[in-house]
A and B are shown apart, each in its own frame.
Chain A
Amino acid sequence: MDRNSNVYTFIYASVMVILVAAILSFAAFNLKPYQAKNVEIEKKQNILASVNIAATAVDAEQIYSEKIVNSYIVNSKGEKVDGDAFTVDLKKERAKQVEDRQLPVFECNIDGNIKYILPLYGAGLWGPIWGYISVDNDMNTIYGATFDHQGETPGLGAEIATKPFQAQFAGKTIFDNNGEFYSIIVAKSNETAPEEHKVDAISGGTITSKGLQKMVMDDLGAYKSFFNQKK
């Protein structure tokens, strides 16, 4: 058959597209359960990482079931509402008004003390960033933090996912001396903020750093009433 004829070209393109579509959807369909499992395990690892427990993909599920003693959803007034905290889709919640949001809380037992783990979700430079912050039972001091991102620039914005950056959060406080919610400032070297509320930004990753600051401000801010009730 003439390789340059319209009919040949048309048939070739159609067959190719159908074939490739079939291969890709077959692969996507069959790999889906494995991928979903990985995402779930990773979420448990992240939750545990925010209370400074390093879990591997193998033992994450077991440690999670031992350490996380309670989980529930609250609203912006700090009242408990029905639902499963683990499956709350933060991306969808973020699109709602603060009053309508479902705010998940995970309680973790560390040597007899309860730490409250709160999920965060915000925007970096290239895509979403998210993380978990754990708070001591004084509802003020940060016990640990973990962040992750979809596609921040490696070496720059992606540094938010590294230990040295996250370790800065431990011991910082989110309420000022007057009991007002202050959040955490992710500061560049030329910015000043009280030391107890400040972490260092990432050089070359200003927009990601500021996105993270806004995420902490907005998402922890939504729990304000919850914090005040628990104090």
Chain B
Amino acid sequence: MSEKEALFSKKNLGLLSNPLNSNNPITVQVLGICSALAVTAQLKPAIVMAIAVTAVVAFANVIISLLRNTIPNRIRIIVQLVVIAALVILVDQVLKAFVYDVSKQLSVFVGLIITNCILMGRLEAFALGNKPWPSLLDGIGNGAGYGMILVIIAFFRELLGSGSLFGFKLIPESWYIANGGFYSNNGMMILPPMALVTVGVIIWVQRSKNRKLIED
């Protein structure tokens, strides 16, 4: 053990902020793409999913980090899976008992968190080799980086695909072709392929701003 590190040292703050840009789980590590396509047709579920994933990855990171010196190497993946699954089930049960309407809103997403590659990715790559506090920050940072991309994608998909944001109509009814106007929602945006294209555009924009990310 070297000297004691400040709680919010530069290195620790980097754990929080790097995933937002130069080490973003979706656009740089390319993890969690599946759920980024599935839950971004509207803003509201995207935000709820972002919060849920952040909570689970942060807690799982801390638990695995606390256990890291006891976990047998050969079954470490299974241990990680059990921790994630137990947390997700626990969260689901508590939501169902006390905030029933929120749990209905999340429906299958809560279960889907188990399959989110970001969780296993962070446990394996970070929590197994670091102390609980940096692991917590890493979890929150990656959850936020994931959530940020989700919200950006959902913003464009809901706006262009449904003409609304958070379910509120933004495009005036009289603009639509059906009402004699000139505008029509792009149905493609609602379907998952356009989410993938949107992710691609975000990656393009990010790399043109941050040249370090471009590989040869």
> A107 CA to B154 CA in the complex, in Å?
42
Q: Is B205 an interface residue (CB 8 A)?
A: no
- Interface residues of B, count at CB 8 A: 32
Write the nearest CB–CB distance from B178 to chain A, whole angstroms. 10
Which B residues from 60 to 85 make CB contacts under 8 A with A? 70-75, 78-79, 82
Pairwise interchain contact B98-A34, C-beta atoms closer than 8 A? yes
Pairwise interchain contact A155-B96, C-beta atoms closer than 8 A? no
Which A residues from 172 to 223 make CB contacts under 8 A with B? 203-204
Pairwise interchain contact A4-B86, C-beta atoms closer than 8 A? no
Pairwise interchain contact A12-B72, C-beta atoms closer than 8 A? yes
Q: Which residues of B contact A228 (CB under 8 A)?
A: none
Q: Which residues of B contact A149 (CB under 8 A)?
A: 107
Pairwise interchain contact B191-A31, C-beta atoms closer than 8 A? no
Q: Which residues of A contact B71 (CB under 8 A)?
A: 3, 12
Q: Is A110 an interface residue (CB 8 A)?
A: no
Pairwise interchain contact A156-B41, C-beta atoms closer than 8 A? yes
Q: Is B101 an interface residue (CB 8 A)?
A: yes
Q: Interface stretch among A13-21, A80-88, A114-122? A: A13-21
Q: Which residue of B lies closest to A162 (CB)?
A: B167
Interface centre among B78, B97, B101 (most CB of A within 10 A): B97
Pairwise interchain contact B94-A27, C-beta atoms closer than 8 A? yes
Pairwise interchain contact B41-A153, C-beta atoms closer than 8 A? yes
> A200 CA to B158 CA in the complex, in Å?
20
Q: Which residue of A lies closest to B73 (CB)?
A: A4
Pairwise interchain contact A9-B74, C-beta atoms closer than 8 A? yes
Pairwise interchain contact A12-B45, C-beta atoms closer than 8 A? no
Contact of A204 among B94, B98, B191 (CB under 8 A): B191
> A156 CA to B189 CA in the complex, in Å?
12
Interface centre among B72, B78, B86 (most CB of A within 10 A): B72
Q: Is A136 an interface residue (CB 8 A)?
A: no
Q: Is A35 an interface residue (CB 8 A)?
A: yes
Q: How many residue-residue contacts, CB under 8 A, span A and B? A: 80
Q: Which residues of B contact A151 (CB under 8 A)?
A: 107-108
> A16 CA to B80 CA in the complex, in Å?
11
Q: Which residues of B contact A225 (CB under 8 A)?
A: none
Pairwise interchain contact A42-B96, C-beta atoms closer than 8 A? no
> A158 CA to B90 CA in the complex, in Å?
25
> A23 CA to B70 CA in the complex, in Å?
20
Q: Which residue of B lies closest to A17 (CB)?
A: B82
Contact of A34 among B79, B97, B108 (CB under 8 A): B97
Q: Is B181 an interface residue (CB 8 A)?
A: no
Write the nearest CB–CB distance from A169 to chain B, whole angstroms. 20
Write the nearest CB–CB distance from B3 to chain A, whole angstroms. 28
B37-54 Cβ-contact flags toward A at 8 Å (1 or 0): 011011001000000000
> A150 CA to B106 CA in the complex, in Å?
10
Q: Is A24 an interface residue (CB 8 A)?
A: yes
Pairwise interchain contact A35-B96, C-beta atoms closer than 8 A? yes
Contact of A24 among B79, B86, B98, B100 (CB under 8 A): B86
A16-41 Cβ-contact flags toward B at 8 Å (1 or 0): 11001001100110010011001000
Contact of A31 among B86, B94, B190 (CB under 8 A): B94
Q: Which residue of B lies closest to A32 (CB)?
A: B97
A-B contact pairs, 10 of them (CB 8 A): A12-B70, A12-B72, A13-B75, A24-B90, A27-B93, A38-B97, A126-B108, A204-B187, A204-B190, A204-B191
13 more CB-based (< 8 A) A-B contacts, given A3-B73, A155-B42: A4-B73, A13-B78, A20-B82, A24-B86, A38-B100, A149-B107, A154-B41, A154-B42, A155-B158, A155-B162, A155-B190, A156-B190, A158-B107
**Chain A residues within CB distance 8 Å of chain B:** 3-4, 8-9, 12-13, 16-17, 20, 23-24, 27-28, 31, 34-35, 38, 42, 57, 126, 149-151, 153-156, 158, 203-204
User: 3 tightest A-B contacts by CB?
Assistant: A155-B41, A34-B97, A31-B97
